[in-house]
Amino acid sequence: MKDKVVLITGSAQGIGKAIALKFAKEGSKIALNDISFQEENLKKTKEEIEKLGTEAKYYLADVTKYEEVEKMIKEIEKDFQRLDVLVNNAGIIKDRTLAKMTPKEWQDVIDVDLTGVFNCTKAALPLIIANQGNIISISSVVGQRGNFGQTNYAAAKAGIIGFTKSLAKEVGRFGVRVNAIAPGFIETKMVESVPEEIKIMVKKLTALGRFGKPEEVANLVYFLASDNASFITGAIINIDGGLSI
């Protein structure tokens, strides 16, 4: 993956940042993305990547707005002249039972977690096809199993699974691979907000008895992007410590 150009959405912190650092360590050039209030974190991530000896730029764009995404992709093409890998990582949660969920809480999660994947993939696809690159999206075990209080999140993450399988069939003839991964509970700020009793219960249900680390997710994303996964497309790979078995 040396000198390949990789765009990771939602990469100011958490899993997205870990993915960016993994690719950077392997010599890839990194296009970071997040929304404007994350600019300081993006700058810090960019500096960490540059210390690893590779090139990085960051782009402020809201993945829910196609015009902003399209502008970002044009800037990446201008800055790097290519794009080899798109990692659709940006996501939010707004948990509430359906009976109490507002239409806005539903739509906000669908807009970021699912429509954001459409927007970024649609805008980036010509560049990805031109370089026979690949697309990796972050789904979730919740999209496979459902979860109490997460109908919006589960619907969005399940949508990514269907999107991935369908797109893989469409673009395989161009030599483009499309995959998704389904993490379980990973040690991020998002999981920090989960009540302690829920965390204890989840660990008991997880075969390995612990939460995953962002770096473990990053390792899987890197593998799927590399030539080591050259015959894998349309796959949904769980990385959940055995939570889904």
Instruction: Please check whether residue 131 lies inside any domain of the structure.
Output: yes
Taking Cα atoms as reference points, which of 83, 85, 107 lies closest to residue 94?
107
Share of the chain above pLDDT 90, in %: 92
Q: Give pLDDT, residue 220.
A: 98
Q: Which domain holds residue 35?
A: 5-239
User: pLDDT class for 190, splitting at 50, 70, 90?
Assistant: confident
The CATH number given to whatever domain includes residue 227 is: 3.40.50.720
Q: Which helix (H) or strand (E) holds 7?
A: strand 5-8
User: pLDDT class for 193, splitting at 50, 70, 90?
Assistant: confident
Q: What b/e sequence results for 98-117 when a residue is b if at least 16 CB atoms lie within 10 Å of its CB, and e otherwise?
A: eeebeeebbebbbbbbbbbb
How many domains are contained in the chain? 1
**Torsion angles phi and psi, residue 54, rounded to 5:** -125, 175
Instruction: Please check whether residue 148 lies inside any domain of the structure.
Output: yes
Per-residue pLDDT of 213-239, as tens digits, reads: 999 999 999 999 999 999 999 999 999
Look up 66 and say whether it is catalytic. no
Q: Give pLDDT, residue 83.
A: 98
Instruction: Please check whether residue 244 lies inside any domain of the structure.
Output: no
Per-residue pLDDT of 120-152, as tens digits, reads: 999 999 999 999 999 999 999 999 999 999 999
Catalytic residue among 58, 59, 153, 222: 153
Instruction: Please check whether residue 170 lies inside any domain of the structure.
Output: yes
Is the pLDDT at 93 greater than 80, yes or no?
Answer: yes
Instruction: Please check whether residue 231 lies inside any domain of the structure.
Output: yes
Instruction: Please check whether residue 245 lies inside any domain of the structure.
Output: no
User: pLDDT class for 199, splitting at 50, 70, 90?
Assistant: confident
